[in-house]
Amino acid sequence: MSEMISGVAAKVEEKLFQNRYLVDAGRPHIRVKPHNEPSASLLAMITLCPAGCYATTESGQVEVAADGCLECGTCRIVTKKTGEIEWNYPRGGFGVLYKFG
Amino acid sequence: MTDEKFDAIVVGAGPSGNAAAYTMAKAGLNVLQIERGEYSGSKNVQGAILYADALEKIIPDFRDDAPLERHIIEQRMWTMDDKSHTGMHYRSDDFNEEKPNRYTILRAQFDKWFSAKVREAGALLLCETTVTELVKDLKGNVIGVRTDRQGAPIMADVVVLAEGVNGLVGQRSGLREEVAPESVALAVKEMHFLPREVVEARFNLSGNEGVVIEAMGTITKGMTGTGFLYTNEESISVGIGCIVSDMAESKVTPNELLEAFKNHPSIKPLLADSECKEYAAHLIPEGGYNAIPRLYGDGWIVVGDAGQFVNAVHREGSNLAMTTGRVAAETIIALNRKREEMSASNLAEYAARLEQSFVMKDLKKYKGIPALLHGNKGNFFGTYPQLISQAMQTWFRVDGVDKKSKEKAIMRNFRETRSLRGMVGDAFKLVRAWR
């Protein structure tokens, strides 16, 4: 499996380069609220986010870099109960712009 | 413009919103449609298959100029294990008809076309504008919307919420609950480009004929979900989706699932030498009938994915979206003509009309399926696909073992792996949920 997925363009970061985005610089549409210990739901986003926007910091918190966000809303739904994420649409016109959809 | 009061505001310009806005504008209503994307389609993702019947009821001559990819003449249903697929294929020349029944489409192009029709019909479209909240009067009736643009709220007799599965307005305004991770699937999809001759040779097609592959089995690694591969004119849409709560528990990333599916020996040759030009992700409502939220209230009505209108068993969604959009519009038009209020009791006609249509009849028919599959995912998405593959291989491999012994070995494998009681129970539950 690991061998299989290490092929050309198999990495999410490389795939996101194919996409068109209009990034609203300095106005991320997703924020992780300050926390000490991330919940299991928030931690799950590190593997669950299809754009790989979530990562852990050295001190064990979860952070988000939403520039490559595909606006699916999975993180919003998964962390709804814990309230650890603030999720808004990018401002009108910004964010991912699907060429084919 | 903000001084003007509209007959209706439609939030969102996907299939349901466009169907609603078109139908109302065509009937002469003063319609404002608001879309957060750069254009209709820029935020929308689908497999995608267009069901002609639902669109014909809105735009009968859509085939004249709609951007259609291929009409589907062949359906392949695959049960897969790690190395094989067992298929049920149906191909018929009857599908090469004057007015084909299903087409593959690219949503960004198709939605743009639909949106142009909406504007031609007379609706006003405001793009790059996000509706932030609903405006209510003192009695709690919805009377308009606020957007992320400066200015006063925009008022209307009724607001049609066509905001999609990830719609925020309805939830934030307390009109419906948040979607549960158990009743929604996360799908990832890629667009792979190939010369059209290659697509045709590879899939045994001529002209604009197309093929659809729907697949289930160990490709979802024990999770509830399906994979798909659709032929477009000069590209292939390939994707896979699983229920979000299943994926949250697993440590597999959506991208790894998709890569494994693309590299499956039955899929890989179909994609060979293609160029991937887009990677997309989208949620699909899969909760069925039991997940449908409240659909209308004083001054508002919900259509499409926001109302969970997807028939997950048959992979139908865009037709339910267009149909609910059209029926909501027809309900509103009738009230508008009679100069009646857009009150909850009057808009209840929308739900009554849906009950009489295939939309609610189909969703009701399969209302037990989501829970059944979810509760037995290990069997339906792991054990059975493996057993089927092993049985097929035993049956087709010629190795000097007599056929009677092969039959016995196959039956023994099923009994020992899943037990007779387990199989009878699964069959019973499946039949009961299917009726």
**Rounded to whole angstroms, what are the CA distances from B303 to B282, B366, B370?**
18, 20, 21
The question of ipTM being above 0.95 is answered as no
Greatest pairwise CA separation for chain A in angstroms = 41
- Other residues' Cβ atoms within 10 Å of the Cβ of residue B374: 18
Minimum Cα–Cα distance from B172: chain A residue: A88
**Residue A76 touches chain B, beta carbons under 8 Å:** yes
> Residue B418: is its pLDDT beyond 60?
yes
Q: Would you say the C-alpha torsion B220, B222, B223, B226 has a positive or negative sign? A: positive
Give Cβ neighbours of residue A46 (< 8 Å, ≥ 6 apart): A54, A55, A56, A62
Top residue of B255, B257, B276, B308 to mutate, by most chain A CBs within 10 Å, is B255
Q: Would you say the C-alpha torsion B262, B265, B270, B273 has a positive or negative sign? A: positive
pLDDT average, residue stretch B365-369: 93
The mean-pLDDT minimum among A11-20, B69-78, B304-313, B422-431 falls in B422-431
What's the CA gap between A67 and A76, in Å, rounded? 16
Size (chain A), residues: 101
* Binary contact (B259, A7; C-beta < 8 A): yes
Domains of chain A and CATH, by start: 4-97 (3.30.70.20)
**Residue A86 touches chain B, beta carbons under 8 Å:** no
What's the CA gap between B224 and B382, in Å, rounded? 10
> Residue B257: is its pLDDT beyond 90?
yes
pLDDT score at A8: 46
> Residue A26: is its pLDDT beyond 80?
yes
Give Cβ neighbours of residue A82 (< 8 Å, ≥ 6 apart): A39, A41, A42
What's the CA gap between B159 and B142, in Å, rounded? 7
pLDDT score at A92: 87
**Residue A77 touches chain B, beta carbons under 8 Å:** yes
Partner residue facing B130 (CB), from A10, A91, A97? A91
pLDDT average, residue stretch A96-100: 97
* Binary contact (B277, A18; C-beta < 8 A): yes
What pLDDT, in 10s, does the model give residues B169-189?
Answer: 999 999 999 999 999 999 999
Q: Which of B139, B138, B124, B130 is nearest to B172 (CA)?
A: B130
What's the CA gap between B12 and B35, in Å, rounded? 5
For the CA atoms of B83, B232, B305, B126, what is the dihedral angle to 10 degrees? 150
* Binary contact (B178, A80; C-beta < 8 A): yes
For residues B141 and B298, is the Cβ–Cβ distance under 8 A? yes
The Cα of A36 is separated from the nearest Cα of chain B by a number of Å equal to 21
pLDDT score at B112: 97
Which two structure tokens, joined as six digits, stand for B8?
């209706």
**Rounded to whole angstroms, what are the CA distances from B204 to B46, B198, B211, B225?**
24, 10, 9, 27
What's the CA gap between B239 and B229, in Å, rounded? 7
Q: Which of B241, B235, B313, B242 is nearest to B271 (CA)?
A: B235
Minimum Cα–Cα distance from A5: chain B residue: B259
The helix or strand, by DSSP H or E, that contains position A54, with its residue range, turns out to be strand A54-56
> Residue A7: is its pLDDT beyond 50?
no
pLDDT score at A2: 38
Cα-Cα end-to-end distance for chain B: 52
Partner residue facing B244 (CB), from A18, A78, A96? A78
- Tell me which of B150 and A46 has the higher pLDDT: A46
Q: Which of B221, B220, B222, B240 is nearest to B230 (CA)?
A: B240
Which two structure tokens, joined as six digits, stand for B423?
């199989």
What's the CA gap between B105 and B112, in Å, rounded? 12
> Residue B23: is its pLDDT beyond 60?
yes
Q: Using 50, 70 and 90 to split pLDDT, how confident is the model at A59?
A: very high
pLDDT score at B420: 87
Mean of pLDDT over chain A: 91
**A97: which chain B residues are within 8 Å (Cβ-Cβ)?**
37-38, 42
The radius of gyration computed from the CA coordinates of chain B, to the nearest angstrom, equals 23
* Binary contact (A52, B44; C-beta < 8 A): no
Top residue of B128, B223, B271, B278 to mutate, by most chain A CBs within 10 Å, is B278
Q: For B288, left (φ over 0), alpha (ψ -120 to 50), or beta?
A: left
Top residue of B261, B279, B282, B308 to mutate, by most chain A CBs within 10 Å, is B279
Buried b (16+ CB within 10 A) or exposed e, A74-96: bbbbbbbeeebbebbbbbbbbbb
* Binary contact (B281, A70; C-beta < 8 A): yes
The Cα of A98 is separated from the nearest Cα of chain B by a number of Å equal to 5
**Residue A99 touches chain B, beta carbons under 8 Å:** yes
The mean-pLDDT minimum among B55-64, B200-209, B335-344, B376-385 falls in B376-385
pLDDT score at B2: 53
The helix or strand, by DSSP H or E, that contains position A3, with its residue range, turns out to be none
pLDDT score at A41: 96
| One-letter-per-residue 3-state SS of chain B | CCCCEEEEEEECCCHHHHHHHHHHHHCCCCEEEECCCCCCCCCCCCCCEEEHHHHHCCCCCHHHCCCCCEEEEEEEEEEECCCCEEEEEEECHHHCCCCCCEEECCHHHHHHHHHHHHHHCCCEEECCCCEEEEEECCCCCEEEEEECCCCCCEEEEEEEECCCCCCCHHHHCCCCCCCCHHHEEEEEEEEEECCHHHHHHHCCCCCCEEEEEEEEEHHHCCCCEEEEEEECCCEEEEEEEEEHHHHHHCCCCHHHHHHHHHCCCCCHHHHCCCEEEEEEEEEEECCHHHHCCCCEECCEEECHHHHCCCECCCCECHHHHHHHHHHHHHHHHHHHHCCCCCCHHHHHHHHHHHHCCHHHHHHHHCCCHHHHHHHCHHHHHHHHHHHHHHHHHHHHCCCCCCHHHHHHHHHHHHHHHHCHHHHHHHHHHHHHHHC
What's the CA gap between B102 and B330, in Å, rounded? 25
- Other residues' Cβ atoms within 10 Å of the Cβ of residue B266: 17
Among A residues 9-28, those touching chain B with beta carbons less than 8 Å apart: 9-12, 15-16, 18-19, 22
The Cα of A65 is separated from the nearest Cα of chain B by a number of Å equal to 17
Q: Which amino acid is at B37?
A: G
**A77: which chain B residues are within 8 Å (Cβ-Cβ)?**
178-181, 184, 244, 283
pLDDT score at B373: 87
Q: Give B399: exposed, middle or buried? Use CB within 10 Å, 0-12, 13-18, 19+.
A: exposed
Q: Which residues is B77 bridged to in the sheet? A: B88, B214
Q: Percent of chain B, pLDDT > 70?
A: 99
